[in-house]
Amino acid sequence: MNDAQNEAAIDWGPFSRPLFDGPEARALSRVGVVDVGSNSVRLVVFDGAARSPAYFYNEKIMCALGAGLSETGRLNPLGRVRALSAIRRFAALADGMGISPLTAVATAAVREAEDGREFCAEVQRETGVKLWVIDGREEARLSAQGVLLGWPGSYGLVCDIGGSSMELADLADGKVGNRVSSPLGPLKLQGVKGGRKGLKAHIRTVIADLHRQMGYETGKRLFLVGGSWRAIARVDMERRGYPLTVLHEYRMSSRQVTATADYIGASDLEELRGRISVSNDRMSLLPIAVLVLRELVKTFRPKDIALSSYGIREGMLYEQMPKALRDSDPLIEACRFAEAKDARLPGFGRIMYEFVSPLFRSADWQKQRIIKAACLLHDVSWRAHPDYRAELTFDNSTRANLGGLKHGERVFMGLALLHRYSNKREGTRFEPLFKLLDDRELRQAEVLGKAMRLGAMLWLNADEQPGQLVWRPKKRQLELRLTEHARPLYGEVAEARYMALAAALDATATVRIG
């Protein structure tokens, strides 16, 4: 190990150095992409921590370019007008943000329509935006890369559904493998003859063929990408009374998909639409989309199903990343960025992590990274009013757009940060979310929060460890060892916080100075 590597290991341990402040990452700090789909046209401007996308701007216009394409072979005339207007607006916004030219791709509707080239030429002439028309395999690859942005090293099957097509891509060892495209978009399926029976038969035939083409083994994770899948997940949340309405990393089982399909079939769609806040255009396609998902799950038999809010647009961002940035942890990089931007003492999160680590020696690597993330975020909300800091930190953790974070992990981190500012969690509006954790995880989150609450009192600088916790779990003994330099910091408030931590551990507490 050379000197630079050794210094990095000392500073950051198993998490390596932050990459967001490197020149290659800074080059990605603001990137604008346009996705011209069969159903919608969207502009996303990514900003900030390049490894975990921060959405500086996000706007979607439902244009239905692909409506009627199966019958006419041409783009929907009204959709063309709306899409051109949307892209003109997006180009003007990009100029105002100083991020021109935009990277823009068009998918199934434009590539299949006989007037697709004409539309692209019109867009470039009227707006200056060049549309890159990608084929189905490239669409599948970019969508799968979007999944990798949130889940480095993922394995399983990525299924991206648009208005006019549905793509599948295999992921193994964090790489995109075999991929195929199909005409199973809900807009296109509207033109299938033979009523509901004919539609179901057509879907069954196409999915069986996709299964053969993919040569797919059952029992893998299924990642769902696309607006129709997100709408179905919203319905599943509503049906289950699920307490956290964050779609990214929401999990469903095959049985839940079946139950939700039946629920949709028995519901008044307009009444249901009002409850889940889905657009009229999206809701009208839901009964078709759920038939596709039901058959997909029946045929591929995944071990579990995960929603990904990251897709083709995030895949375009991933495309521009150097390998070192791709391989980094999206959660840790985002939290480092937040600490550097908002904490009073950037760098103290590392000291805090070293301080609390003795309490979690037996935690696996997945839990360790959540503890690391919480420590990095422990002081980023200091500007909030003291009466609301606990609530704000919980909200930020559970609802922030962060990759690489399961729902239970969101709640664990949020609860730990809540306890960073408050001894008690009872009586808060967040209590329904605590059901996503078991009793052991609730206790661990409380211990972490109270340890950070104590550590925040021992604030010297970002390079000095003021004290050390020694934890003997079998004897239930906790010891706080302070340096002589830190002696003045251990006053009445710090002592009260130390006693609260010991109580959470059900431990006897001692202090040693010097």
Mean pLDDT of the chain: 90
Q: Are residues 126 and 161 in the same domain?
A: no
508: left (phi over 0), alpha (psi -120 to 50) or beta: beta
Among 48-52, 56-60, 425-429, 460-464, which is the least confidently predicted range? Answer: 48-52
Q: Are residues 169 and 240 in the same domain?
A: yes
Residues 403-426, mean pLDDT to the nearest whole number: 94
Q: Are residues 332 and 455 in the same domain?
A: yes
Q: Are residues 285 and 339 in the same domain?
A: no
Give the pLDDT confidence score for residue 246 in this predicted structure. 93
Give the pLDDT confidence score for residue 10 in this predicted structure. 39
Q: Which of 105, 133, 161 is the last residue of a domain?
A: 133
Residues facing residue 61 across a β-bridge: 41
Residue 380 falls within a domain, yes or no? yes
The predicted-structure confidence for 340-382, as pLDDT tens digits, reads as follows 889 999 999 999 999 999 999 999 999 999 999 999 999 999 9
Q: Are residues 230 and 163 in the same domain?
A: yes
Q: Which of 250, 281, 312 is the last residue of a domain?
A: 312
SS3 assignment, position 70: helix
Q: Are residues 341 and 377 in the same domain?
A: yes
Does residue 8 carry a pLDDT above 70? no
Does residue 230 carry a pLDDT above 80? yes
Q: Which of 133, 168, 197 is the last residue of a domain?
A: 133
Q: Are residues 364 and 456 in the same domain?
A: yes
Quote the Cα angle for 328-359-457, to 5°: 90
Give the pLDDT confidence score for residue 278 in this predicted structure. 87
CB count in 10 Å sphere of residue 364: 8
How much is the pTM? Answer: 0.87
Does residue 2 carry a pLDDT above 70? no
Residues 277-283, mean pLDDT to the nearest whole number: 87
Residue 5 falls within a domain, yes or no? no
Q: The domain containing residue 125 runs over which residues?
A: 20-133
The predicted-structure confidence for 177-223, as pLDDT tens digits, reads as follows 999 999 999 989 998 999 999 999 999 999 999 999 998 777 889 99
Does residue 392 carry a pLDDT above 70? yes
Sheet holding 251-252, edge to edge: 175-182, 166-172, 156-161, 221-225, 304-307, 251-252
Q: Are residues 355 and 297 in the same domain?
A: no
Residue 213 burial class via C-beta count within 10 angstroms: exposed 0-12, middle 13-18, buried 19 and up? middle
Q: What single-letter DSSP state applies at residue 201?
A: H
Give the pLDDT confidence score for residue 186 in this predicted structure. 93
